[in-house]
Structure 1
């Protein structure tokens, strides 16, 4: 898609984790330490990570997203690999490995605050984020970005049905609404399925389970390298 001339009157819907602030990089640090801690006798780290990804994929369906789901998955992975429940000692050690996820300071991605400040004067900004409500709200509060958004929705899942409900609830016109995020699976593809436009801003630390292929011929998906580039298009 070519460069759009900035103009007012559109609705920009923003993802939060790994779009506005760094998130998964912390989870990856915990997983890295966990895989070293496992010290499995026959499986290498890539094989162990594949098992953990499968456990997380299943747990996300029934337990949602966020640090609690990861902590549960780390324990479940021990059980799957050892054929027995994790011991109290093992669970305690896992909690120590994951302690960094509790109460960490929100780290905004470069130029986010300044860019949102400008965009909020041109367009209507909304936030749509998924995960544990308490955990997501804590990050939103810590980011000090909430004042830029007309509304903030925290949902359990971000699929096409979620976006259709979001469009209806907020009275959006899909043709002039844009979903902006780093996840092809949760931000771009389901928004497009609901008729919205989308802006893909990749993050090197995007969770592997959020990866998916985008259609290179879809001219309703704008691909940017940095968050600040939004100002050149909106």
Structure 2
């Protein structure tokens, strides 16, 4: 149904889905950083338990899944349409910004998707359907999701692959935020440079924050 809309409508839908996914990454990063807290993984495990047991969060998982599917499908369709049409680019009078990776969003997106599937297999599906080690917090028993994370990030090949993936995520985000703002028609000569700056900052903070986690765990 979405794929039948006009190109402008599809770009708006993709922009909204992309901004939603960026907000998810910020929340996900804030939770993951708890693994670095020196409390025996207690805060991280409590947060992980809340995420997998709270009904609202469980409902939002399906919304998130839908956001991913929409973002991927619309992105692929728009890319195919761009390949088939005469090459055109966004142009804002008085300000030009074209990064190398902005030309390869579909390629970085494919790399991100491939590793995301592996990431889900190693963590999400393992926690959801596999056997997990347990840990006592207070007088209650919880699944020790933190131990699984630490075991994975003590494996150098996985750490390197994870960092490689996150670099591409950063490159993707560097273009994604300002492109979404532009697709929503919010670009203006006065604040477009600021939007580009925010986009770059988000890319560095999100990708850098996620990279920090396996690095600290591996060397500690």
The bucket for the TM-score relative to the shorter chain is: under 0.3
Q: Which has the higher strand share?
A: 1
Identify the structure with the greater helix proportion.
2
